[in-house]
Amino acid sequence: MKAARKMVVLVDFLDNTEKVVDYAVSIARETSAVPHFLHVVNLFKEDPMLDNPFVDRCEKILISSAQKRMASLVAETSRKELSCTGEVVAGKTLEMISEIANACHSDLIMIGPNGL
């Protein structure tokens, strides 16, 4: 396998997150890559049926919760003697993945079994 320098790993904090993280750690060790865990909050704000103040409040709550989970994930993964980073962003999922992967100069993007 070609050595990767940076990999973006999407996490959704659902049932399979631990498996995705374990697999990412395995690949990172094999390739000497640094995993960058990414969680995207997308509430489809452009939907005219949604009340924007309500959506904004929900987004803030979801982002805060995800940031706490991300901090735990990064701390736990770092305890496995593996350097990693993580972030939570809000926006359109595919656009945010592309933007973050480009900004990180990612060689690999990992998506879990549940997709996006």
Residue 115 in domain: no
pLDDT at 80: 81
55-75 pLDDT tens trace: 778 888 999 999 999 999 999
Residue 1 in domain: no
Residue 53 in domain: yes
pLDDT band of 16, cuts 50, 70, 90: confident
pLDDT at 42: 85
Residue 45 in domain: yes
38 - beta bridge partners? Answer: 10, 87
Q: Per-residue pLDDT for 34 more than 90?
A: yes
**Domain assignment of residue 76, given as a range:** 6-110
CATH assignment of the domain containing 42: 3.40.50.620
Number of domains in the chain: 1
What's CA 109's distance to the chain center, in Å? 10
pLDDT band of 101, cuts 50, 70, 90: very high
Q: Per-residue pLDDT for 51 more than 90?
A: no
Tokens of 97: 């993945």
DSSP of the chain, one letter per residue? -PPPSEEEEE--SSTTHHHHHHHHHHHHHHHT-EEEEEEEE---TT-TTS-HHHHHHHHHHHHHHHHHHHHHHHHHHHTTT---EEEEEES-HHHHHHHHHHHHT-SEEE--TT--
